[in-house]
Every structure is written in structure tokens, then in C-alpha cells.
């Protein structure tokens, strides 16, 4: 604000994940995930809300997760990102009259070559699987047949911060390649 005099876009993309069962999680484990994934975005949104309201415009995007279903070894993460989704909807209503939009983008499985790869490898170990078997199982759950890439997520974020999305607020944009969390995608058939 001091340097440029205004803030036009905020993207809350920080996140930490913890691969533990609920019964093995400490209070400190839980609190750390909530601090980064839920409290952090609250603090940054609060910091930019008033300047955006005064300017009569602004875009806020919170990176959440696929919602609506559990994920073993991920309770703290899922809870924190679900909280962020609820916060996103509420903030969208509070800021709409000021020309500020607030949306969420929910990436699917962002894979190898990213910071998420370490977490997926840890999950494979926790499940007693080789990386190759785990990766094949994950890919079978994604109908488009590949991992989500950072560019896929960036394209969704670019849309919701664009002038074309001025009427889009309080929405969740899934970038999952068709992943629903239920079952395995059917094999390709001859066409």
C-alpha cells in the first residue's frame, strides 16, 4: 500500500499439509495447519478489505481444496481448507456492494515437480504403497488421466481476477480434471 497506493488483487495460496491420522495428531500439529491455512488468509483478507472497499474494486482469491469428502491422513488440512471456503463465501457477501469479488479455486491433485510431490510421497509411504503404485492409483481417479499442473490452477485464478469475472463472487472453481473423489475413472474404450 505504501509503495503503490492501492491493492488490486490478493491470492491466498499458502498451505501446509500434515500426513497423520487423527489419533496420532497433537494439538500443536492441528494448530499449525489451522494457523497457516485458515488464520493466514483471514489476516491478509482483513488487511486488504478496507483499502479495496475504499477503492470500490478488488479481487480476492483463496486457494482451497476439493470439498465434500474426507481424505485419510488429511483431517487438519481438509478442516482448514473447508473453513477457508466458508470464510470465502461470507467475505464475498460482505464485500460485494463495494465492487470487491471474493472467490475460491480448488485444485485437484497437483503432482510431480511441485511442492505437493513430497506430501504425496509421504502419503504413499503411510499407506504402505510404492510411489509408482500410488501414482497409478491417483491417476486412475482423474478422468482426464493426468496430474493437475500449476498452469491449470493459474488459469482459473487469472479468470476470477479478470474484468470478465466482475459478476462472479462467492464461487468455487474446481480445477480437478473431473476428479470427484468417488471411485476410479472408467478405462478408455475404443472410439
Which residue numbers are catalytic?
A: 77
Instruction: List Cβ neighbours of 40 (8 Å cut-off, separation of 6 or more).
Output: 12, 14
Burial 68-87 (b: 16+ CB within 10 A, else e): eeeeebbbbbbebbbbbbeb
Distance from the Cα of residue 175 to its chain's centroid: 9
Place of cell 478496507: 50
C-alpha to C-alpha distance for 76 and 18, rounded to whole angstroms? 7
> By three-state DSSP, how is residue 122 classified?
helix
In the numeric block, which cell numbers belong to residue 112? 510431480
Amino acid at each position: 500500500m505504501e509503495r503503490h497506493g492501492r491493492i488490486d488483487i490478493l491470492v491466498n495460496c499458502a498451505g501446509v499439509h500434515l500426513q497423520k491420522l487423527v489419533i496420532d495428531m497433537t494439538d500443536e500439529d492441528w494448530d499449525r495447519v489451522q494457523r497457516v491455512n485458515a488464520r493466514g488468509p483471514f489476516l491478509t483478507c482483513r488487511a486488504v478489505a478496507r483499502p479495496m472497499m475504499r477503492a470500490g474494486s478488488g479481487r480476492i482469491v483463496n486457494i482451497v481444496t476439493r470439498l465434500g469428502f474426507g481424505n485419510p491422513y488429511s483431517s487438519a488440512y481438509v478442516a482448514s481448507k473447508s473453513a477457508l471456503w466458508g470464510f470465502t463465501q461470507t467475505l464475498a457477501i460482505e464485500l460485494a456492494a463495494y465492487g470487491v469479488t471474493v472467490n475460491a479455486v480448488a485444485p485437484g491433485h497437483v503432482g510431480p515437480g511441485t511442492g505437493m510431490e513430497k506430501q504425496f510421497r509421504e502419503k504413499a509411504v503411510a499407506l504402505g504403497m510404492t510411489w509408482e503404485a500410488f501414482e497409478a492409483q491417483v491417476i486412475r481417479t482423474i478422468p482426464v488421466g493426468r496430474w493437475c499442473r500449476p498452469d491449470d490452477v493459474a488459469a482459473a485464478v487469472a479468470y476470477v481476477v479478470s474484468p470478465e469475472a466482475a459478476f462472479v463472487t462467492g464461487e468455487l472453481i474446481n480445477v480437478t480434471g473431473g476428479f470427484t473423489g468417488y471411485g476410479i475413472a472408467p478405462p478408455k474404450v475404443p472410439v
